[in-house]
Amino acid sequence: MNELELEKQNLEHTLEVLDKVLEAETEKTDETRVLWRREPERYEGLLLLYEGHLKALEKSLEKPYFARIDFEENESKSQKLYIGKHGFDDENNNPVVVDWRAPISSLYYDSEVGKCSYKAPAGIIEGNLNLKRQFDIQNREILSYYDVDIVSRDALLQKYLNENNTARIKNIVSTIQKEQNDIIRRPISDNIVVQGVAGSGKTTIALHRIAYLVYTYKDIIKPNEYLIIGPNQVFMKYINSVLPDLNVNGVSQFTFEEFCKKYINDKYTITDSSKKLSKYINKAINNDVDKFKNSLNYKNMLNLFIDEYIRNVVTSDLKVGSFIILTKDVLLKIYEEVLQGRENLNMIFERFILMTSTYILNERTKILNRLNKHYFKLFEETLDKNKKNAITKELNLIKSELTKGCKNLIRKSLDKYKLTPLQLYKRFLNNITKYDYSSYEHLKELKNITLNYIKEEMVDFEDLAALLYLKFKTSDCKELLEIRHTIIDEAQDLGEFNYSVLKDILGSSTFSIFGDLAQSIYEYRGVNTWGDVDIIYEYSEPK
């Protein structure tokens, strides 16, 4: 039997095993659907995982694998491995097809025939690569195969490159180049920037990187702990159609505008960036204003405003009617202590309420003595029965509050400082000259244009970083701290402030940034060099 017949025989066996696996996975998914109906919160994530895996296996029926490697670790351990977009085992847990994202699969992308090694969880595995083979499989049939030394621009790759974009991205896992594979398989702990010219496959590599990370860290990181930020709705629809084919489901996907809209959660409309671009091209607007809004200088101005705003919260005594529960001086001492470990305004307020309430409970006896004396005197000084009833009612109200540490009273005293990001931004702009440490020459123009928009509940794209930063400095965004890795594509059109606020608000995330400085559409708001991003994210690797 010749080699082609043997490969056809293996394909037939693989498809038989896959049919059995599909039957078992379908049964397991159906059982989970029943459980999900009973306990949706408990089984929703599991159902999503099973359904995604089932769809991936169903797609594998047409083409279960695209490559084969023969790896000899030592004389007693030789492996013949078939590599596919979705791996699966037989009923005895023996691998039938190895997932392209598995560590050993990197031998196919990175190694030449001969001595080689790959990085496994247990360490570096050395051996010999005796064969590297690519298959052209369509409709469950092997049309041809190619034995290659390195994955390069061979006949099979040229075939895929000549296909349309949608088909190409679905087949690219079989023809990933070594340099691309290095980017895709970088550890999740790495921040990377990839500069690629038009047509170099940046988006393709970005999507395969997220697919690789989801697979590699599936035991410790959930799909919804990844984030993709893209340039526009057309792009988002495109990747939303591609990711399931890479067995990626549940990853959060937003444009920068959508991301801000969701987490700022304020009432505003974003102006049309295309109209501004047209004005910019026709030199009808001062684009320097927009550039400045996306700079770190603008962020620093906001920091001066926020620091002043936070420090001026305690301005009066805590009192009810004419009775002072705590003086301003006492409140300031407590507040200064709270500020030592501050994170955002909401957390500051909650800690201030707790500490002030605790102080009141500790001093309750002394406060009650003063309270009784104060209201006894008021009671004696009036003869009006209605006023006496009002005094008694107020006294009982304060006593009731004191038993709870006056938490409601303290919280109410802080309510006037709980402004929305848009309200805070408006206050900042009205007093912007106070924070202009860099003497920006177009400050008056910036102020007037922005305030005029805000009156209409509108903001420019260039204001979003400021609003998102104000949200970050004043509120809790706990769900954002769960994001572990963020992919940004067409990244050249975001500015320094955009990147800086993403780093702030996604505090637990690392980043993979893909773009081309030469393709910047909105150059008046984007970065000038990737060095602008390096400063923020501390990249240590070459582009």
- Residue at 502: amino acid letter: L
Residue 414: count other Cβ atoms within 10 Å of its Cβ.
16
Confidence of residue 284 (pLDDT cuts 50, 70, 90): low
pTM of the entire structure? 0.83
Average pLDDT over residues 350-371: 93
The CA distance from 442 to 295, in Å, is 14
For the record, the structure tokens of 120 come out as 């496994």
DSSP letters spanning 329-364: HHHHHHHHHHHTT--SHHHHHHHHHHHHHHHHHHTH
Average pLDDT over residues 116-130: 91
- pLDDT tens-digit series, residues 361-404: 999 999 989 988 888 888 877 878 788 888 888 888 888 888 88
The CA distance from 360 to 364, in Å, is 6
State residue 26's pLDDT score: 92
Half-sphere exposure of 256 (CA within 13 A, CB side): 26
Residue 302 has pLDDT above 80, yes or no: yes
State residue 542's pLDDT score: 39
- pLDDT tens-digit series, residues 5-33: 999 999 999 999 999 999 999 998 898 88
Residue 413 has pLDDT above 80, yes or no: yes
State residue 154's pLDDT score: 43
State residue 507's pLDDT score: 87
The CA distance from 336 to 340, in Å, is 7
Q: Are 424 and 474 in contact (CB under 8 A)?
A: yes
Q: What percent of the chain has pLDDT over 70?
A: 93
DSSP letters spanning 98-145: EETTSGGGHHHHH--SEEEEEEETTEEEEEEEEEEEEEEEETTEEEEE
State residue 375's pLDDT score: 83
The CA distance from 276 to 282, in Å, is 10
Least confident range of 120-134, 147-161, 203-217, 370-384: 147-161
**Highest-pLDDT range among 275-284, 332-341, 531-540:** 332-341
Per-residue CA distances from 381 to 156, 344, 374, 388 (Å)? 100, 46, 11, 9
Q: What are phi and psi of 7, to 5 degrees?
A: -70, -35
- pLDDT tens-digit series, residues 520-543: 887 778 888 888 887 677 654 434
Residue with tokens 């008694």: 392
State residue 361's pLDDT score: 93
The CA distance from 414 to 422, in Å, is 18
Confidence of residue 76 (pLDDT cuts 50, 70, 90): low
Least confident range of 290-294, 375-379, 425-429, 513-517: 375-379
Residue 124 has pLDDT above 50, yes or no: yes
Residue 343 has pLDDT above 80, yes or no: no
State residue 504's pLDDT score: 92
* Residue bearing the bigger pLDDT, 379 or 492: 492
Residue 151 has pLDDT above 90, yes or no: no
